[in-house]
Amino acid sequence: MRTQSPSRVFLFGTLCTLLLFASLAHAQQPTPVTLRRENGNLILEGVPERDPAMSERLARYLNSRQATFLDWMADGSLLVATRFGEADQVHRVTQPLGTREQLTFYPEPITEARAPTVNSDGFVFLRDRGGDENSQLLYYRMSDRSVRLLTDGKSKNGSPVWSRDGKRVAFYSNARDGVSYDIYVVDIGANTEPRLVVASPKQTWYPLDWSPDDSKLLIQHYVSINESHLLIADVATGTVTPLDGDAGQSRNRRGRRSNGKVGITAARFAPDGRGVYVISDEKSEFSQLRYIDPVTGERRLVSPEVQWDVEAFDVSVDGRYIAWVINEDGRSRLTVLDNQMKLELAPPGVPEGPISEVKFDRTGKRLAFSAVSAHSPRDVYVYDLEKNTLERWTHSEAGPVDTKSFVVPELVHYPTWDRVGGRLRTLSAYVYLPKTPGPHPVLIHIHGGPESQFRPGYEAFFQFLVNELGYAVVAPNVRGSSGYGKSFLELDNGMLREDAVKDIGALLVWIGLTPALDRERVVVMGGSYGGYMALASLVAYSDSLRGGVDVVGISNFNTFLSNTSAYRQDLRRQEYGDERDPKMRAYFNRISPFNNAKAIRRPLLVVQGLNDPRVPASESEQMVARVRANGGEAWYLAAKDEGHGFRKKSNRDFYLETVAMFLERLAKK
């Protein structure tokens, strides 16, 4: 046997020591990440290979389609948005349950189109590219199916409104400086460039309506969800006159002095050419429909004074009928007032769910709208007021699933951590509970906004989670959500941001006390601001969660506000706070999920559209990098051709499959 020399023994021992330290160091490195790979326009990091069985099971639920009412054509046909391929496009329907004639054919979804009331030759629509939200205004001529670009091809444009004579379209555009929402008018028949009517002072202005004689425009100056102002602009001269009175001294219904801000949801000229109908929360916690006479100063309540918001309305051309929709804790109630007979009409057979896009036809005798329920996709309905009948104009397919197996979400109220009126404040949530015995794993789904609201519509993915994976889905409306009064809206503003995160903590306590739910298997998910909430919940409550899903979410308010599109910065500062203020900047740094990523000890899935103009992709990328650097597990899915959310069917299907795989793994005991 050969004897090793001392030098060889030393070298061998040194090598073993180095290997040992290397292995220990390697053990302390972040979890290895699956090599980056691409699948068409999708980029995947750390995401497992596609599960064919999961794809097949989920596809049955995702092959449904919906239809959304866009506008009436002058000939009485309807424009609707629906999907027969990759993305929603504009279709025309000429009779109840008639063929949907596809009019636009683009790879990008087309979900907004407006037609004149006196000319059936065409309509205008909006189209962006890859979800960048720089929507362009185009004119579609029915006679020859030609399409003409009306805007510059690069700015952000929107809110098209046809003049009463059907010759001109007003819209907003930030073409002048990239920030200001200015008001333009384009003459469709003249084939000329749009004319700047009113230049806003770096503010957000929307055209709402033309006066009956087409000489004036009603304009909304939007500051935040809590504050808007109405202006009337002379189309010929550009002269602007404020419509609002001094609301600063008003008091709300509980007798407290208001903050002087009035939130306006919608407004339009009255048929008399003098007054204006407006949905506002002036002198009230909730938005109500009012009639304003600018000459006399009269402000008359039209809708009943209830503890819920009026969210949409329309007035017939002759003023006889007024329709409005009230949002009652997420569900809609449609009422039509017959001014002549002094009667309130309720259309029979409307699906129990959100109602939207209400509009009378040119005769004022038919009202079209979109409606949806837990068992049926969104469809278009027409209410004939003279006959008091409701007709369904589209019948969208649910796909190869039995919707009778779908669960109807239950509205619950759970106590949170603070008090109002001497009692614990309660928050609402919709719960989708499997019909099988529990306890069930739980997905907490947090809506975006934050000035938004979860509303129970046709949620095919939730039904898949309930029926196929055994998950219960809980969708809360935490403080800051809309629909519960303007004081509630402000409960999370500025340095109150963490109070909304505490609401998720209170929900976790409620879940723990509910026998049908498994407190040991809870996952949190949200998109946009809901993505921030998911990340913040993982920071605060990692020990009570199995994992989280962040979709286009904010990871650091300082970097978000600095990098979001310029035209959005001041709008978002109204809600979140101004990062340029040193105290606010320090607060944002303290609550930032990015800065507190070490507290995240559970798997994370991050989803991002790379063309997102709202929450830049850098918010997701920096969060993924930080979690991995801390040794955590982070799946990352990005799309090159999407923006603030996945709108194309193939991309969305893949994204939801990835979420399903992630949730299935986390549900295992």
The mean per-residue pLDDT over the stretch 302-310 comes to: 94
Contact call for residues 481 and 491 (beta carbons, < 8 A): no
Give me the pLDDT at residue 300, please: 93
Q: What is the distance between the alpha carbons of residues 538 and 532, in angstroms, rounded to a whole number?
A: 10
Give me the pLDDT at residue 260, please: 66
Q: Is residue 462 part of a domain?
A: yes
Q: Is residue 611 part of a domain?
A: yes
Contact call for residues 626 and 596 (beta carbons, < 8 A): no
Give me the pLDDT at residue 231, please: 96
Q: Is residue 490 part of a domain?
A: yes
CATH number of the domain at 558, please: 3.40.50.1820
pLDDT higher than 90, residue 112: yes
Give me the pLDDT at residue 23, please: 34
Reported confidence tier of residue 479, pLDDT bands at 50, 70, 90? very high
Q: Is residue 521 part of a domain?
A: yes
Give me the pLDDT at residue 656, please: 98
What range defines the domain where residue 566 resides? 30-61+401-667
Query: 3-state SS string over 572-610?
Result: HHHHHCCCCCHHHHHHHHHHCCCCCHHHCCCCEEEEEEC
Q: Is residue 202 part of a domain?
A: no
Reported confidence tier of residue 443, pLDDT bands at 50, 70, 90? very high
Number of domains within the chain: 1
pLDDT higher than 50, residue 102: yes
Give me the pLDDT at residue 326, please: 97
pLDDT higher than 80, residue 247: no
Q: What is the distance between the alpha carbons of residues 77 and 61, in angstroms, rounded to a whole number?
A: 31
Give me the pLDDT at residue 295, please: 87
φ, ψ of residue 603 in degrees (nearest 5) = -60, 145
Place of tokens 């057979």: 349
pLDDT higher than 50, residue 397: yes
Q: Is residue 322 part of a domain?
A: no
The mean per-residue pLDDT over the stretch 275-290 comes to: 95
Q: What is the distance between the alpha carbons of residues 102 and 339, in angstroms, rounded to a whole number?
A: 38
Q: Give the residue from 510, 351, 353, 355 showing the smallest Cα distance to 425.
A: 510
Computed over every residue of the chain, the mean pLDDT equals 91
Give me the pLDDT at residue 35, please: 78
| AA identity, residue 22 | A
pLDDT higher than 80, residue 191: yes
Quote the distance between the C-alpha of residue 286 and its chain's center.
20
Taking only the tens place, the pLDDT of each residue in 346-358 is: 899 999 999 999 9
Give me the pLDDT at residue 161, please: 98
Give me the pLDDT at residue 1, please: 35
User: Six-digit token pair at 337?
Assistant: 């007032």
Written as one string, the DSSP assignment of 128-148 is -STT----EEEEEETTTTEEE
Give me the pLDDT at residue 32, please: 46
pLDDT higher than 70, residue 254: no
Taking only the tens place, the pLDDT of each residue in 154-184 is: 999 999 999 999 999 999 999 999 999 999 9
Q: Is residue 587 part of a domain?
A: yes
Q: What does each C-alpha distance from 48 to 43, 90, 583, 659, 662 come to in angstroms? A: 12, 37, 43, 11, 9
Q: Is residue 241 part of a domain?
A: no
| AA identity, residue 639 | A
